[in-house]
Chains A and B, each alone.
Chain A
Amino acid sequence: MNKEEIIEALKTIIEPYSEELTALAHIDENTDFINDLKINSANLVDIVLDIEEKFNIEIDNDSMAKMLTIKATTEIIAQKLEAHAR
C-alpha cells in the first residue's frame, strides 16, 4: 500500500468523527485531527482502534502518542505494514 492509498483509507475511517465538512474535503498531510477536524480527543482512541482493525496492525502507546496529524499517522501505518510484511 502506498502513501496515497493509506491516506484514502484513513479518510474513510476519520469521516464519521468529524463535522468539519470543509476540512474533511481538503484533507492533506498537514491536516491536524484536533485543530482542523475538531475531533473529540476521546474519539481519537476510536480512530486508533479502527486503524488497527482496518490495517490489521497493532498501534503501541508510543506510536499512538504521535498520531495527531495525517502525516504522522500515515507514517506510522506505513512503518507497521512494512514490519508486518517482513
Chain B
Amino acid sequence: MLGNDIVDLNLAKTQSNWRRKNYLGKIFTVEEQLLITSAEKPDEMVWLLWSMKESAYKIHNRKTGIRNFAPKSLNCTIYPNTDQVKGTVSIDKDTYFTKSKIQSKYIHTIATPIYSKLKEIKVSIYEVPNHPCDYKRTKPGSVSHHGQYLALVY
C-alpha cells in the first residue's frame, strides 16, 4: 500500500494561516510544534509535517477502514538529509515510513508501511496545464492533488 501528498506552497500561503491562534495545537504534537518554532523556515516545516501526516493517513485509512480527522494522533519523526527528508509517522501501533522532497514551489511526500519499498516507489508530478486527463487508467497507488500540482505514485 502506498500514500502520497503534495502541497502547493503558493496556494498553502493564501489558503491557510497556520499562525492563527490555536491552529498548530489542533494539528501538531508538542514535539512537532517545537520543530516548527525552532525551524529556520517554519512555513516549510509546517507543510513538510502536514504532508507526512496526510500521506501516512491515506494508507492507514485504507488499512483500517477508519475515516476521521485526527492529525494529532499521527506522530512525525524526521531524519533530515541533504535533498530528501526521511521520516516516520506512527499512529497507535502502526508505523509508516516517509520520504519527502522539498522544492521551492512544492513539498511532496511518499509513504509506505515497509521501509525497503521507499526506494522502489515511482513518482510522477505534473504541473498545470500538463495534467494527464486519463491518469486513472495507469492505476496509480495513490493520487494527490493540490493547487497547480497532481502527484501520482506507483
Residues of A within 8 A of B (CB): 40-46, 48-49, 52, 61, 64-68
Contact = CB atoms under 8 A, between A and B. Distances in A.
Contacts, number: 46
B50 interface: yes
Given A42-B50, A48-B26, A64 B16 contact: no
Contact of B68 (A42, A43, A65): A65
B7 to A, nearest CB: 8
B69 A43 contact: no
Contacts of B16: 40, 42-43, 45-46
Q: How large is the interface on B (under 10, 10 to 19, 20 to 34, 35 or more residues)?
A: 20 to 34
Does more than half of chain A's interface fall in helix, strand or loop, or is it mixed?
helix
A40 B71 CA distance: 14
A49 B20 CA distance: 9
A45 B20 CA distance: 10
A2 B45 CA distance: 42
Given A40-B15, A42-B15, A43-B16, A49 B70 contact: no
